[in-house]
């Protein structure tokens, strides 16, 4: 019996482009991620980390292979099923934060809930709780442009977590942070791990790799 947040990737091959410019950032990749663990996918730049996250997030259809999460194989060729997967199962934190510049911190975090029809007051309460828990209570109504890199990253993570997803994906979460902020980020990532959730981080930052429970090495050396 597969536990709730177990991930099985089997024979995954992704092709990008066509004709002579076709590339295969991932070829016949298989691994297992276990519920309640911090898993790091490591590879150098261009090694397929972001491509893998795109497939796991239901944003990219692989050429071959399968992805099973929580005992259910993802219908990666069906747009409605991919959208449903993103809504129900996935939380995302992007490498460059990708906060919406016109929204303040709390509205950025509310956005995923509002998109799925959650009542505005409920979404605001949930977003405020999350941001306060991350030490951003004094920054709720600041727009991204007036937040530091570390604060933007925390808002981005809060946005990924607001729907309480069983699969949380973070792409290079330390890429834009300085040394003290990296330490805080590692602590935050560890705190996200709990039963019923798999946290998967794509990075080539050795400090994050050392903090991981499991490591998937897409290429060697990492």
Partner 1 sequence: MLTITLRDLQWRARRIVVGVCAAMLVFAVTLLLQSVHDSFLEETDRTITFFGGDAWIVTRGLAGPFTTNSPMRTSTAELLADPSRAVAMTPVAIFRHVVDGAQSSGPVDVNVIAYRPDGVVQPRPTAGRPPRAEGEVAVDESLGVPLGTTLTLAGVRLTVVGTLAGLTYNGGTPTVVMTLSQGQAIAYHGDDLASALVMRGKPAVLPPDLVVMTPRDVRDDLRRPLQVATRTLGLLSVLLWLVAGSIVAFVCYLSALDRVRDVAVLKAIGAAPWRLCATPLIEGLAVSVAAAAGAVILAQALLPAFPLTIGLGLTPCLVLAVVAIGLGVVASVAGITRVLRVDPALALAGP
Q: Which residues bind partner 1 (CB under 8 A)?
A: 50, 53-54, 57, 59-60, 83, 86-87, 90, 92, 94-96, 98, 100-103, 107, 110-112, 114-116, 120, 159-160, 163, 171
Q: Is 39 helix (H, G, I), strand (E, B) or coil?
A: strand
Nearer to partner 1, 36 or 59 (CB): 59
The CB-of-100 to partner 1 minimum distance in angstroms stands at 5
Nearer to partner 1, 111 or 213 (CB): 111
Cβ 35 vs Cβ 49: under 8 Å? no
Q: Which residue in the block uniquely carries the two structure tokens 């990708």?
A: 98
Two tokens, residue 84: 């449903």
Nearer to partner 1, 141 or 190 (CB): 141
What is the torsional sign of CA 4, 189, 60, 144? positive
Distance between start and end Cα atoms, the chain: 33
Two tokens, residue 4: 């709730």
DSSP state letter for 119: -
The CB-of-1 to partner 1 minimum distance in angstroms stands at 28
Nearer to partner 1, 35 or 172 (CB): 172
The CB-of-49 to partner 1 minimum distance in angstroms stands at 10
């Amino acid at each position: 019996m597969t536990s709730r947040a177990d991930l099985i990737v089997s024979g995954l091959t992704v092709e990008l482009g066509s004709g002579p410019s076709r590339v295969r950032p991932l070829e016949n990749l298989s691994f297992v991620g276990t519920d309640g663990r911090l898993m790091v996918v490591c590879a150098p730049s261009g090694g397929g980390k972001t491509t893998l996250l795109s497939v796991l997030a239901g944003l990219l259809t692989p050429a071959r292979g399968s992805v099973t999460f929580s005992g259910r194989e993802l219908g990666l060729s069906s747009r409605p099923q991919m959208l449903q997967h993103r809504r129900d199962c996935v939380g995302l934190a992007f490498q460059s934060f990708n906060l919406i510049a016109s929204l303040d911190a709390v509205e950025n975090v509310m956005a995923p809930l509002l998109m799925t029809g959650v009542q505005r007051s409920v979404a605001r309460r949930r977003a405020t709780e999350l941001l306060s828990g991350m030490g951003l209570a004094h920054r709720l109504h600041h727009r991204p442009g007036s937040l530091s890199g570390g604060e933007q990253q925390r808002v981005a993570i809060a946005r990924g977590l607001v729907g309480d997803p069983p699969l949380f994906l973070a792409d290079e979460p330390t890429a834009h942070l300085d040394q003290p902020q990296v330490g805080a980020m590692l602590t935050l990532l560890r705190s996200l791990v709990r039963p019923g959730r798999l946290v998967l981080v794509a990075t080539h930052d050795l400090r994050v790799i050392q903090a991981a429970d499991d490591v998937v090495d897409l290429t060697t050396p990492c």
